[in-house]
Chain A
Amino acid sequence: MPEWHGWQKLKYEAELDPKFADEITAIPGGEKLANCIQCGTCSGMCPLSTYMDYTPRQIVAMVRAGFKGEVLSSYTSWLCASCYACTVECPKGIKITDIMYSIKRRAIQEKVYPKKFPIPVLAKEFFGNVLRNGRSTEMLVVIKLYLKTAPLSMINQAIMGMKLFFQGRIGLKMESIKRKKELQTVLNAMDKEAVSTGKGTL
């Protein structure tokens, strides 16, 4: 039994952010979030909900009500594996998976994601890798990830890494496309005018 901390289960209206829901739902089809009937199908379908601090349904309720702090610092969106089980079964057509992505982007922007989880770091690494080379080289990303977050567990991982290496499943050669310039142009152009998609930048 956890020690009693004198939790205060009281939320003052002034602590809520009335614009939060609009920010998070500014993605294609996001407005449907308002229609949630709190049925819990999403949480029931979700294979990860049992590990989350708030279930997907609770996150939806909290986004709608403006619990910005709780939502952005919650582990939930980072545990979401994008399996879309919730989205396809939501009786109100709410794109919960996309909402989770929107929360992640927002959290990275605001730098409030949980420090313990290496996921945002991984996301950033992949991002940088692709930005530079047009392709991702899994191994380099993974090595960097461990160096940044948990250098000790590298040793553990190294055993599997060696096996994979000998099977020819990982190489240390940097994958890259030919016309990097062309890709850069496209990606830079996607930056210019921010359309209403709750986009985040690095």
Chain B
Amino acid sequence: MPENKSNGGLKIGVYVCDCGINIASKVNVAEVVEFAKNLPDVTVAKEYKFMCSDPGQDLIKQDIKDGKINRVVVASCSPLMHENTFRRATSEGGLNQYYFQMANIREHVSWVTADKAAATEKAKALVAAAVRRVAIHQPLERTRVPVNSTVLVVGGGIAGIHAALTLADAGKKVYLVEREPTIGGHMAQFDKTFPTLDCAACILTPKMSAVRSHPNITLWTYSEIAEVSGFVGNFKVKVKRKPRYVIEELCVGCNLCVEACVFKKPAFPNAFDEGLGKRKPIYMPFPQATPSVVLIDPNTCSELKTGKCKKLCASVCERNAIDFTQKEEFKEIDVGAIILATGYKAFDGKRIPRYGYGKYPNVYSSLEVERLVNASGPTGGELVLKNGQKPKSVGIVHCVGSRDENTNKYCSRVCCMYSLKLAHLIKERTGAEVYNFYIDIRTPGKGYEEFYDKLLHEGVHFIRGRVAEINDWAMTPDEQGKLIIRAEDTLVGMVRRIPVDMVVLANGLEPQEDAEEVRRKFNISCSSEGWFLERHPKLAPVSTFTDGIFLAGACQGPKDIPDTVAQAGAASAEAMALIDKGYVELEPNTAYIRDELCSGCHTCIPLCPYNAISFNHEKKIAVLNGALCKGCGTCVAACPSGALQQNLFTDEQIFQEIKGVMSYV
């Protein structure tokens, strides 16, 4: 082994990881180790099967303790995976943890390079770069900041409700912000839930009222997030509260105003009923709405539109709760952690014109049918067509807007099961012949296959074939006046035409319309489909790449209620782990100014989003307050004199890295 060669006692250890065969199958690791041995100041170079394992980390610690090395380079996976692991090992060996540098030869090399020789060469170049860089690393210290113990939950579906209650029960203060006038989300629209067919309201409404009455929960419905700033443990959030024109604290939900409204009949489509039911300008979204407070829709109320109404609503309200002058309000809150639980939106069947949704009145969306079979729905739970008659035959079309390159490629995971549920409910309520058209029936859950079995036994028809088209083109007398579903029965190998009275489109799940906007506000990432991206699909499924922001429920990807609730519990636990620790350590990646180079040009000062830079009029140079700096790097990039530098990313460190690659290539 070459002796410590030069440079005032620099002794660099290079550890190249096989990662089982993840790296070793593409990179000739032994060759990289030999190469590293001959780099300047390298005193130790080793190969190991799994560097992240305990024995792997021990290699580093022992070499430090033995005095063989005083700088560490690990060539393995992405720093996102194990930078912390190896920094810890470095520090436990007795060195400053920043005397460490990582070279990513897995994600950047072995996983993306087909040719073995080329992969090995690239790995060498990256190791050379890391060695040159670590040689000029400085010892740095992390700072600790306390964590605010309040949590913000965004979205009041079952995910948000469960997360808020879990945290509140543990004694944490929670703000629950919901965009709609009531919490409950999609689950509140359902009559029964699969696979047990328990009544959705019976299991959901107690939780909704628990949210309302919990002393630790502040519930803001009809509200949206306007702005988010700060960082883990110390977020500042601005919430917009939209005007309901009803004073929430005064209204007791007696509905007298609704009865009194000058509109004698409900005339406007109620969104909660998917437009199938009607409401007045002043309304309660549904009987169990939480909070139990009415609201006025400014687009239909005559007073708010024209200023000319007898305002019967206000005159009957004994508590003077109605206030036409209400304006939107902004509230600022400080929270330590945030849980996003904004859920999903159902696919719009109109995007597949050959299914005739929006054209033929008897083609329904699944959510519409959920409302039709719901006892508190627009028909009181009677499944009837628009003409008031019960359907004698119903076709349920699976995979609408799922598993399809023309719309969404992914499987929406819940529609097979809810289609089975609806098939059961429809058969139970009407005795109709029910046909399910499916590509594959997906029932991977506890009790789910048994539910499918039950449906088969009940005599529901299952036709394996994706529906080609639905229209009113009758070819035979018995098809007259019906909707004809055309599909190949792939198990038989023949095309079938099935006349039905009603079609249900099992629409898939899609990210919310504003998912991209929300993502930007909270500075998290989205998958290519637009779902909020978890930090790791297996090992960090409720964390995001932004510390302190967690995910729960369908906003992260399609999932059913059991999975949603489990994830909400997990997100609350993660938030609590953060809060109960009490502090967060910040990366010492702050910027600093080299006074002698600063020309006092002022460029940086207005650019800093955190107002961390000010001007010293005596010395005529800029001054940076390290405690305020968040390490965003904006000023560093802007400084024309090169006076601004950033810890962990100094110009020199980056140049050395580039030189390392170049000198090798």
Q: Contact residues of A with B, CB < 8 Å?
A: 37-41, 43-46, 49-50, 54-55, 57-58, 89-93
Contacts and interface: CB of A to CB of B under 8 A. Distances in A.
B403 A91 contact: yes
A45 B355 CA distance: 12
Contact of B495 (A37, A43, A54, A89): A43
Given A39-B439, A41-B466, A41-B468, A91 B487 contact: no
Contact of B404 (A50, A54, A57, A91): A91
Nearest to B489: A40
Given A39-B466, A49-B495, A58-B493, A44 B487 contact: yes
B488 A49 contact: yes
A38 B404 contact: no
B403 A44 contact: no
25 contacts: A37-B440, A39-B399, A39-B465, A39-B466, A39-B490, A40-B464, A40-B465, A40-B466, A40-B488, A40-B489, A41-B468, A41-B488, A43-B468, A43-B495, A44-B465, A44-B468, A45-B468, A45-B469, A50-B495, A54-B493, A55-B495, A91-B406, A92-B405, A93-B405, A93-B406
Which of A46, A50, A55, A91 gathers the greatest number of chain B CB atoms within 10 Å? Answer: A91
A64 to B, nearest CB: 15
B486 interface: yes
Given A44-B468, A45-B468, A37 B403 contact: yes
A176 B214 CA distance: 88
A50 B489 CA distance: 12
Nearest to B405: A93
Given A44-B465, A44-B467, A91-B403, 8 more contacts: A38-B490, A40-B466, A43-B465, A44-B486, A58-B493, A89-B468, A91-B399, A91-B406
A89 B405 contact: no
Interface in B351-370: 354
Q: Which of A37, A40, A45, A90 has the most CB of B within 10 A?
A: A40
A89 B465 CA distance: 14
Interface residues of B, number: 22
B468 A57 contact: no
Contacts of B439: 37-39
Contacts of B486: 44
Nearest to A61: B490
Contacts of B465: 39-40, 43-44
| Nearest 10 pairs of A and B residues by beta carbon | A44-B468, A40-B488, A43-B488, A91-B404, A39-B466, A40-B465, A40-B490, A45-B468, A39-B439, A93-B405
Interface string B400-440: 00011110000000000000000000000000000000011
Contacts of B495: 43-44, 46, 49-50, 55
A39 to B, nearest CB: 4
A175 to B, nearest CB: 39
Contacts of B403: 37, 39, 91
A25 B473 CA distance: 36
A57 B465 CA distance: 10
A178 B468 CA distance: 47
A179 to B, nearest CB: 43
A91 B469 CA distance: 14
Contact of A91 (B464, B466, B488, B489): B466
Contacts of A92: 405
A40 B405 contact: no
A93 B406 CA distance: 8
A38 B406 CA distance: 16
Contacts of B494: 55
Contacts of B468: 40-41, 43-45, 89
A90 B495 CA distance: 16
Contacts of A93: 405-406
A58 B491 CA distance: 11
Nearest to B409: A91
Nearest to A54: B493
Nearest to A94: B405
A31 B403 CA distance: 19
